[in-house]
């Protein structure tokens, strides 16, 4: 399923453009690795979706020469953030990149200090810099700027949005994120694989299962381990419960963008019922502690299975009643129809995933396209809409709630017998693999290179939020600022997944 092509860094642009084929094969992820201790070079990796396969390009950049490589952003817009991150964390310059402002490391981080290099001293007391960070905007008579954040009215992580507007309409949005970057990828270097898992599981509360699955899939491929079938079903149950509570809660939260109180409260109430079941199933409302490398930590009790069935039987008509408040409501539809449009081509160019992609006519889902676990044994459809607006993202979620309810029933009713865990044996040092899953927000990718004695040499995490946040800068222009909360909540992206 994954084919790796090894090239020199100066060939990267030519090879990447050839594989990309004007957008036919989208960029899934791009990252770097300091392999100087292994072979005296850095490496830049690009992963492309080629049909139902993944083409991984590894571009070698000799450490003794100029630390730059040809940028692929001019033709592959999805690479823009990845290349800026590589520049920040490794000091490798993508020559020809149109915007090399800091991304992950802000203006208070000193220049010439690259934390993902292997010779970076983790106990270093980093001095505070005072560099300038220019926000991108629009200049001209009658144009003014409206800054929003990074501190917001709600209890959410920080993000700064700078609107340029003339009159009521937004002309441009520039977003500055990564205010709480935690350095998790650096923190797990050298850690035992099974110990590092606990930090990975906590990258983001709303995507705990998705991150756990992606990481475990990578470890299990490296260890050549076959996870027991019962564990695969229990993993899928946790993943679908995570999707369900997020989607139901997000639909209610979207209504908060216009002050529609009844759906807000209904969504919160139903989400609470699902999270109560989560705690009964795993011991955690966020479903932590269930999935482990090789399988699952605990089995499901018969009483819990019955509790899940009862919850679904009550949730389904309750949720249908909530949606009946929205579909025929002209005032509601006036706010969501044609608001925050991301055209299909823009979604493809930016590599948008998940609900955002499917609402813009991009038919994609990792559970179906790159099947894993027990999903090949389960029946479900992938809803796709084409208008690319707030309404389309809402209706995709609504349809997926019903699909998820169906999947959970299939899993609980068809749970096979068997053991819960396979042991992770010795993994060859410096072998590498991808793991993936489909979170409530879209595809979640982990690339792992093992070190010696089953430790981590390099972990790269690309959550669904990463390629989706830039879509907001496309969705916002042409709308009015009071509609931005609706646009933002229609994606409902995780800040924590960026701040890994």
The two tokens of residue 192 are 């035992």
Distance CA 209, CA 186 (A): 21
Q: Could you give the C-alpha distances from 148 to 65, 132, 163, 484, in angstroms and in order?
A: 43, 19, 8, 11
DSSP letter at 293 equals: T
In sequence order, what DSSP letters do the residues of 66-113 get, joined into one string?
-SEEE--TTT-TTHHHHHHHHHHHH--EEET-S----SSS-TTSPTT-
Q: Which among 124, 122, 121, 114 has a CA at the least distance from the CA of 34?
A: 114
User: Residue 185 annotated as binding?
Assistant: yes
49: β partners: 54
Terminal alpha carbon distance of the chain: 27
In order of 13, 69, 84, 97, the CA distances from 73 in angstroms are 9, 12, 10, 6
The Cα 193–Cα 220 span in angstroms is: 11
Phi, psi angles (nearest 5°) of residue 176: -120, 115
Token output for 123: 């106990």
Both tokens of 126, joined, read 């980093």
Which residues, including other chains, have CB under 8 Å from residue 41's CB and lie 6 or more apart?
Answer: 35, 60, 61, 62, 63
The structure tokens listed for 381 are 């459809």
Q: Is 461 annotated as a binding residue?
A: yes
Q: Exposed (0-12), middle (13-18) or buried (19+): which is 143, by Cβ within 10 Å?
A: middle
Q: Are 83 and 97 in contact (CB under 8 A)?
A: yes
| Residue 237 Cα to chain centre, angstroms | 20
- Dihedral (Cα; 479, 483, 486, 492), 10-degree rounding: 70
The DSSP H or E segment spanning 277 is helix 261-282
On whether 46 is known to bind a ligand per the annotation, the reply is: no
Q: Is the CB of residue 362 less than 8 Å from the CB of residue 348?
A: yes
Query: How far is residue 27's CA from residue 56's CA, in Å, rounded to a whole number?
Result: 10
The whole-angstrom separation of Cα 284 and Cα 275 is 8
Query: Where is the binding site for Ni(2+), in residues?
Result: 207
Query: Which residues make up each annotated binding site for Fe cation?
Result: 207
Binding-site residue set for Mg(2+): 185, 461
């Amino acid at each position: 399923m994954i084919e790796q092509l090894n090239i020199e860094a100066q060939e990267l642009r030519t090879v990447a453009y050839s594989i990309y084929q004007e957008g036919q094969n989208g960029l899934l992820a791009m990252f770097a690795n300091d392999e100087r201790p292994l072979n005296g070079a850095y490496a830049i990796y690009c992963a492309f979706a080629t049909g139902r396969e993944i083409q991984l390009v590894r571009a070698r950049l000799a450490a003794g020469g100029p630390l730059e490589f040809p940028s692929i952003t001019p033709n592959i817009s999805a690479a823009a953030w990845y290349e800026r991150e590589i520049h920040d964390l490794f000091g490798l310059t993508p020559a020809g990149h149109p915007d090399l402002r800091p991304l992950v490391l802000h203006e208070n981080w000193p220049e010439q200090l690259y934390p993902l290099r292997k010779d970076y001293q983790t106990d270093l007391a980093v001095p505070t810099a005072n560099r300038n960070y220019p926000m991108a905007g629009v200049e001209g008579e009658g144009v003014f700027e409206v800054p929003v954040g990074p501190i917001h009215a709600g209890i959410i992580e920080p993000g700064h949005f700078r609107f340029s507007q003339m009159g009521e309409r937004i002309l441009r949005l520039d977003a500055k994120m990564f205010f709480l970057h935690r350095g998790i990828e650096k923190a797990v270097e050298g850690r035992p694989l099974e110990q590092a898992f606990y930090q990975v599981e906590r990258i983001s509360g709303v995507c705990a299962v998705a991150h756990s699955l992606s990481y475990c899939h990578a470890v299990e491929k490296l260890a050549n381990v076959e996870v027991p079938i019962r564990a695969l079903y229990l993993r899928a149950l946790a993943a679908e419960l995570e999707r369900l509570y997020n989607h139901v809660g997000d639909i209610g939260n979207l209504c908060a963008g216009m002050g529609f109180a009844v759906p807000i409260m209904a969504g919160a109430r139903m989400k609470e019922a699902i999270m109560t079941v989560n705690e009964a199933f795993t011991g955690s409302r966020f479903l932590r502690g269930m999935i482990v490398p090789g399988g699952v930590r605990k089995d499901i009790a018969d009483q819990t299975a019955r509790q899940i069935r009862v919850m679904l039987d009550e949730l389904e008509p309750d949720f249908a009643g909530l949606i009946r408040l929205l579909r025929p409501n002209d005032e509601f539809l006036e706010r969501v129809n044609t608001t925050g449009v991301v055209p299909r081509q823009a979604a493809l160019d930016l590599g948008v995933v998940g609900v955002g992609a499917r609402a813009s006519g991009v038919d994609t889902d990792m559970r179906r396209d790159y099947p894993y676990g027990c999903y090949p044994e389960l029946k479900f459809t992938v809803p796709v809409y084409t208008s690319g607006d707030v309404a389309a993202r809402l209706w995709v979620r609504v349809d997926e709630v019903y699909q998820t309810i169906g999947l959970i029933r299939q899993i609980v009713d068809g749970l096979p017998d068997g053991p819960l865990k396979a042991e992770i044996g010795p993994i060859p040092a410096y072998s590498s693999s991808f793991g993936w899953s489909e979170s409530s927000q879209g595809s979640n990718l982990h690339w792992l290179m093992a070190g010696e004695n089953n430790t981590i040499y390099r972990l790269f995490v690309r959550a669904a939020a990463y390629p989706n946040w830039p879509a907001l800068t496309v969705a916002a222009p042409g709308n009015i600022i009071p509609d931005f909360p609706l646009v933002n909540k229609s994606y409902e992206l995780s800040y924590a997944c960026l701040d890994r």
